[in-house]
Amino acid sequence: MTADLPIIRLRPKSKPQAIRHGFPWVFADELVTDRRTRTIAAGSFAILEDAERRPLGLVTVNPNSKIIARMMDPDPEVRITRDWIAVRLSRALEMRERLFDKPFYRLIHAEADGLPGTIIDRFGDAAVIQPNAAWADTMVDDLAAALRDVTGVSTVILNGQGRARSLEGLPERTEILSGAVNGPVEVSMNGAIYLADLMQGQKTGLFYDQRPNHAFGQRLAKGARVLDVFSHVGGFGLAALAAGAESATCVDGSAAALELARGGARAMGAEARLTTRQGDAFQQMEALAEEGAQFDVVICDPPAFAPSKQALEAGLRAYERVAKLAAPLVAPGGYLGLCSCSHAADLSNFRNASSRGIGRGGRRMQLLHTGQAGPDHPTLPQLAETGYLKALFFRLDG
C-alpha cells in the first residue's frame, strides 16, 4: 500500500498526456508546489496525480531542482527497494551481454534504463556509479549492493562530480564503496587498449559512448597521419593506431589524460607512433597551422560547449570555431570528424555550425557519415537529452 507516501499534483493547465506516454520529468512550474510539497525531503518518493486526482505513477521528488519530480514507475503501488533496483539492473545487463563480448560498457544510462539520473559504467570487475539525482544519492548503498549481486563486480566507486549534481543541489564526493582500486584499468575496445582512471579521471574514467564512432574513424585511418584534438585518454588516436595508422597526435589540456594515452599506446606496442601535445586545444590548432602541419584525418571531440539552452548560441559559435581551425589542418582529400556531446545543440544546429566553420576555413566538403552513441547508451525517444551525442565525418577538397 502507498497510503503513507505524500501526494503531489500537476497544475490544472499542465498536460498529463506526456507523462502517460513516457516523458519522465515534471518541472517545478508544472506542479502545485504548496508549503507541504516544498517540505518533502530531496530524494523521497511520492504519488504523482493529474489535476483530476488520477494517479500517474510513483515519482521521486527534489524540491531543490527544476526537475522537481522524476518518474520511477508507472505503478503507484510499487516500493523502490534493493530488489526493485536489481530488476532494472538485470534487464540492462541482459541487453549489454547480448551486445558486447567483454564486460566493458555503460550498464545504466539513466532514464533510458529506468533508473532516473543514474549512470553506471562497468570496467570488468569494477563499476562506477554516478548518482546524479537525489534519490540515487540517498540510495547509493542499495544501488551498489544490487549492482554487486546482479553483475558480480567486487569494486564499486561512487563518482559524485559534475554539473548534473550541482543542478540537483547535491555535494561533490568521490569514494570507494567496496573493493579496491590499484591504478588505472586496462580497457580493450575496437582493438585498442585504453587506460581508465576510475578515481581521478573525467566522468567515470572513459567515454564508452564514442565506441562506434571510433570504429568508423578506424576505417579512414589505415596508413594515415591522424590528429585527435580534445583527445582525453586517446580515444580516436589510439583507435587509429590499432587500425594501422602511420602516426597519431593527441592534443588535450590535461597532462594526466595524455599520460594515460601514452600508457595505452605502450600497452598496444604503438608508443613510437604516438605524439602528444598538452595545452589549450584552440591554441594548439592555431600553432599547428602556423607550423604548416597537415594530417590525413583530423577528429575533434570537444566537451559540451552547449550544456543548456541558455548556452546554445555561444556553444554553436565554439563548434563553428573548432571546425574553422581544424579544416586547414586536413590534407587535400583527407577527412575531418567533428563531435558534439551537447544535448542542447541538436543535430541540425550542430551540422550547420560545423559546415559554416569548414567553409570559413576555406574548404569544400562532403558529409560522409553521421554517428551517435553506441547501443549501451540507449535513447528514450520522449527525452531528447538521452540522445545527446553527434559525430559528423566529412571529406574535404580544395
Distance CA 146, CA 311 (A): 37
3-state secondary structure of 344: coil
What stretches of the chain show up as alpha helix (H) in DSSP? 17-20, 35-38, 82-99, 134-138, 140-151, 163-167, 211-221, 235-242, 255-268, 281-290, 312-326, 347-360
State yes or no: is 300 an active-site residue: no
Burial of 164 (0-12, 13-18, 19+ CB in 10 A): middle
Distance CA 17, CA 331 (A): 52
Determine which one of 250, 300, 339, 341 is catalytic: 341
Q: Among residues 13, 2, 14, which one has the least CA distance to residue 45?
A: 2
Q: Among residues 215, 269, 264, 267, which one has the least CA distance to residue 243?
A: 215
3-state secondary structure of 82: helix
The C-alpha cell at 184 is: 588505472
Cell 548534473 locates to 164
Helix (H) or strand (E) segment spanning residue 73? strand 67-73
Name the residues annotated as catalytic: 341
